[in-house]
Amino acid sequence: EDQVTQSPEALRLQEGESSSLNCSYTVSGLRGLFWYRQDPGKGPEFLFTLYSAGEEKEKERLKATLTKKESFLHITAPKPEDSATYLCAAPSGNTGKLIFGQGTTLQVKP
Amino acid sequence: DTGVSQNPRHKITKRGQNVTFRCDPISEHNRLYWYRQTLGQGPEFLTYFQNEAQLEKSRLLSDRFSAERPKGSFSTLEIQRTEQGDSAMYLCASSRGGDRQKAFFGQGTRLTVV
């Protein structure tokens, strides 16, 4: 069964303190690994898609990387506005439906 | 992209009542998905439409749940005889067909069953 697992569940950082979020997956025939950001009470907002091991993508203070078994979301010098839940997901089957991890809730304190 | 629109944003209903939610996808997207998200969890897949055809339903989708997408445009999700366990955020997403197409999500409908 396809599965996506994220760690840690929660992460508290001081402003400027860099860290990484982990997403491990077991998906047959991986067709991409997606990262979303979700603010409280809102829908997920697309951040990145990675398709092959070794691929990296960056957006402002965020960088996503992919290996054959996991993906990392690196946050460099975070700011309080980066506080959110970060979701990792992979397509499963032929319909494009996404299997999500449980998310990592990030809190960045000033 | 004008975005995926969901209505209502919030719904409070009494146990046993029926509720219906609406999703308007991005206009050129032929794929539409419904997900359910409970507190502290990631979204869970409920059902998938390609144009007007409902092609996949999750085991989570009990017979009290029904979804439609008439004419391949907007979609509705109805829950009959609501139970407290139905309280959740219901999310709609749409995408273009084919591989490597990212899904865009709406803001969700928060359902509270009292």
3-state helix, strand, coil in chain B (%, to 5): 5, 50, 45
Burial class, A71, CB count within 10 angstroms (exposed 0-12 / middle 13-18 / buried 19+): buried
Would you state the pLDDT for residue B88? 97
Q: Does B102 touch chain A (CB under 8 A)?
A: yes
pLDDT per residue over A11-64, tens digit each?
A: 999 999 999 999 999 988 888 999 999 999 999 999 999 999 999 999 999 999
Q: Does B105 touch chain A (CB under 8 A)?
A: yes
Would you state the pLDDT for residue A72? 98
Strands A104-109 and A84-91: antiparallel
Q: Does A41 touch chain B (CB under 8 A)?
A: yes
Which 8-state DSSP code applies to residue A69? Answer: S
* A78, part of any domain: yes
Residue given tokens 């690196």 in the structure block: A74
Q: What percent of chain A has pLDDT over 90?
A: 87
* A77, part of any domain: yes
* A1, part of any domain: no
Contact B14, B112 (CB under 8 A): no
What is the mean pLDDT of each successive set of 10 residues along chain B, which is 114 residues long?
90 98 95 96 96 93 94 95 97 86 94 98
Residue given tokens 């299997």 in the structure block: A99
* A8, part of any domain: no
Q: Among the residues of B1-114, which ranges form H helices?
A: none
Distance CA B65, CA A2 (A): 24
* A10, part of any domain: no
Would you state the pLDDT for residue A77? 97
* A99, part of any domain: no
Q: Does A36 touch chain B (CB under 8 A)?
A: yes
Would you state the pLDDT for residue A67? 93
Tell me how close the Cα of A100 comes to any Cα of chain B, in angstroms.
Answer: 5
* A106, part of any domain: no
- Provide the domain count of chain A: 1
* A97, part of any domain: no
Best residue in A37, A97, A104, A105 for a mutation probing chain B (most B CBs within 10 Å): A97
Would you state the pLDDT for residue A81? 97
User: Before A8, cis peptide (omega within 30)?
Assistant: yes
pLDDT band at residue A94 under the 50/70/90 scheme: confident
The boundaries of the domain holding residue A45 are 15-91
pLDDT per residue over A74-91, tens digit each?
A: 999 999 999 999 999 999
Q: What is the CATH number of the domain that holds A72?
A: 2.60.40.10
Would you state the pLDDT for residue B1? 52
pLDDT per residue over B63-89, tens digit each?
A: 999 999 998 899 999 999 999 999 999
